[in-house]
Amino acid sequence: MVGYNTQNLDVIQSSYICNSCSLLLREPVQLIDCGHRMCQSCVSEQSGNKITCADCGEQTTQEKLLIDRGFKNDMQSLSIICSFCSWTGILKTYQSHLDQNHSNPTCDSCDQKFNSVNDLDRHKLFSCEKTTVVCPLKQCGCEEMVLRLRLAEHYISDQHQIVLAKFVRQMNSILSTNIGNHSLISCYQRTDIDANELEKISRTMNILSDDIKILADELERLAIERDQIHNKLQSFIQESTILKKSIEEQKTCIDGITLNEERTEQDLSSLEQNLNTMNLNSYDGTFIWKITNVEEKIVAARSRTQTSIYSSPFYSSPTGYKMCLRLYLNGDGNAQNTHISLFFVLMRGEYDAILTFPFCFKVIFCLYDQTDQQKHIIDSFRPDIRSNSFQRPRSDMNIASGIPKFAPLTIFQQENNPYVRNDIMFIKVIIDFDNTPKPILPYVFNLSPGLTTQIQQTMIRQQIEKREQEQQVLNSSTMNIETDQSITMKGIQEFRQ
């Protein structure tokens, strides 16, 4: 055990403080030869028959130790402030307070728990590596406060070595002076050290003095090298500052170049996108939409991850209406899960200010049969000019309008689905400015898309004229037959009369 630790140790009379553990005396023992007192537990720490006083260095034999009960009784009325809390009282009741309120204290330096306050105090005094302690040479001028685990590093520091060298020189000088002339006998009497032991100490001190001188010279040399290194370091720091500034300037320049490159890349990307759009766009009122990854898009539509997809824009003419298609592969509204829904979307264009609104032209859709049978799915609708969908667009897109039940979903479940091949489908839209007759639409969509629009339109007109002529011939033949039948019936009637 060690002494009592309190918050008010610094105001308690020094005679009540153990000169070994520097705490309030616990079970005080008096050393008869020098009169100083120590804790009984601190005395027990020393082995052998002689006890050395931590205050004056005087040695006392075990037989000359006095358990000072009277002094202990005097201490019982000392005012105490608990080292753990704000409790105040007298020493007599301090231990009871500690046992009742601080039975398992924790070290505030390393967070280790202990079974008693005394164990904690002992831990702090002797073993806690995270406790801040004073240098053993404090009285000699080294007042550094360091963690106990850093003491070894502190002992080899310049500051400590200089104080140690000074202390050894002083001790050597004192010993040399005391040993000189005829003072050796009186020195023996004061210290109870025999001549051989004192001579050994003197030799040791001389050796230490030589070693310290060597160390001092080495320290001086190291100090010179340190100054040189410091000067070089300052030069390096200045160069580093200049270099850092230069790097920052270059970085700013590089950032500017990078920003310009990014802008250039964005401009190129935008230009490329515009060129691609121009290449894909149609400017004659017709558009073929190639839809890839159809199965993936159907799955996305069923899971409602992406219910619809948009085509790229197309135009009725280079300065005409801007339009696109919107496709629901799993249907929209009442057609959901039963049909695919195909819609027409009027978009805001650059030339809307000079175009006629509402948009009133018939829109024809065709889902291509990609086999030789060419059983295309064809349907059309006429715009409701009262609907907002066909007024002049005020935003990027108007509300889509078209055919909710364009084609049944069952066609995609067929084993040899003719409308989706290699996971691709084609949808064509025609803005019908000429009111193309419905019977001729299969012929229109059977024409090869590889032909130019002008050639296709010529062939369509020729086909319309041909069918009109055939219809006229058919109508004329029908009239002749009806006339002949009328004459025949009249002759029969006259014959009967």
Mean of the pLDDT values across residues 146-170? Answer: 80
Mean of the pLDDT values across residues 120-140? Answer: 80
Tokens encoding 357: 């609104």
Residue 263 — pLDDT band, cuts 50, 70, 90?
confident
Bridge partners of 114, per DSSP, are none
Is 240's pLDDT higher than 80? yes
- The string over 273-302, giving b where at least 16 C-beta atoms fall within 10 Å of a residue's C-beta and e elsewhere, is eeeeeeeeebebbbbebebeebeebbebbe
Task: Specify the pLDDT at position 184.
Answer: 43
Mean of the pLDDT values across residues 345-358? Answer: 96
Query: Closest Cα partner for 325 from 174, 413, 430?
Result: 430
Mean of the pLDDT values across residues 418-430? Answer: 95
Task: Specify the pLDDT at position 410.
Answer: 92
Residue 75 — pLDDT band, cuts 50, 70, 90?
very high
Is 301's pLDDT higher than 70? yes
| pLDDT per residue as tens digits for the range 180-190 | 544 444 444 44
Is 397's pLDDT higher than 90? yes
Task: Specify the pLDDT at position 424.
Answer: 96
Bridge partners of 397, per DSSP, are 347
The residue ranking higher by pLDDT, 383 or 258, is 383
The residue ranking higher by pLDDT, 70 or 268, is 70
Task: Specify the pLDDT at position 277.
Answer: 53
Burial of 118 (0-12, 13-18, 19+ CB in 10 A): buried
Least confident of 44-48, 329-333, 400-404: 44-48
Residue 211 — pLDDT band, cuts 50, 70, 90?
low
Task: Specify the pLDDT at position 168.
Answer: 75
| pLDDT per residue as tens digits for the range 459-479 | 988 988 888 888 888 887 777
Task: Specify the pLDDT at position 157.
Answer: 81
Task: Specify the pLDDT at position 189.
Answer: 42
Task: Specify the pLDDT at position 28.
Answer: 92
Mean of the pLDDT values across residues 340-354? Answer: 97
The residue ranking higher by pLDDT, 203 or 387, is 387
Most confident of 163-177, 349-363, 431-445, 460-474: 349-363
Q: DSSP letter for 353, please.
A: G
DSSP for 417-448, please give it.
-SS-BTTBEEEEEEEESS---GGGHHHHHHS-
Q: Which residues contact 73 (CB under 8 A, 6 or more apart)?
A: none
Mean of the pLDDT values across residues 41-50? Answer: 84
d(CA 147, CA 140): 19
Q: Which residues contact 426 (CB under 8 A, 6 or more apart)?
A: 288, 289, 290, 291, 367, 368, 370
Mean of the pLDDT values across residues 151-172? Answer: 78
Is 225's pLDDT higher than 80? yes
Task: Specify the pLDDT at position 191.
Answer: 41
Task: Specify the pLDDT at position 472.
Answer: 84
Backbone angles phi, psi at 308, to 5 degrees: -140, 160
d(CA 368, CA 428): 8
d(CA 76, CA 399): 97
Percentage of the chain lying above the pLDDT 70 cut: 85
Task: Specify the pLDDT at position 453.
Answer: 83
Is 275's pLDDT higher than 80? no
Burial of 368 (0-12, 13-18, 19+ CB in 10 A): buried
Give the CATH number of domain 9-128; options: 3.30.40.10, 3.30.450.80, 2.40.50.100, 3.40.50.10190: 3.30.40.10
Q: Phi-psi category of 316—alpha, beta or left, where left has phi over 0 and alpha has psi -120 to 50?
A: alpha
Name the average pLDDT for the chain. 84
Q: DSSP letter for 378, please.
A: E
d(CA 121, CA 315): 92
The residue ranking higher by pLDDT, 167 or 486, is 167
CATH class of 286-466: mainly beta
Is 198's pLDDT higher than 90? no
Residue 129 — pLDDT band, cuts 50, 70, 90?
confident
d(CA 358, CA 385): 6
Is 205's pLDDT higher than 70? no
Task: Specify the pLDDT at position 412.
Answer: 85
Backbone angles phi, psi at 367, to 5 degrees: -100, 115
Tokens encoding 115: 């079974």
Is 408's pLDDT higher than 90? yes
Task: Specify the pLDDT at position 415.
Answer: 82
Other beta carbons within 10 angstroms of residue 307's beta carbon come to 16
Mean of the pLDDT values across residues 362-384? Answer: 95
The residue ranking higher by pLDDT, 323 or 128, is 323
CA atoms within a 13 Å half-sphere pointing along the CA-CB vector of 137: 17
Mean of the pLDDT values across residues 47-60? Answer: 83
Task: Specify the pLDDT at position 383.
Answer: 96
Mean of the pLDDT values across residues 241-268? Answer: 85
Residue-range domain boundaries for the chain:
9-128, 159-274, 286-466
Task: Specify the pLDDT at position 495.
Answer: 56
Percentage of the chain lying above the pLDDT 90 cut: 37
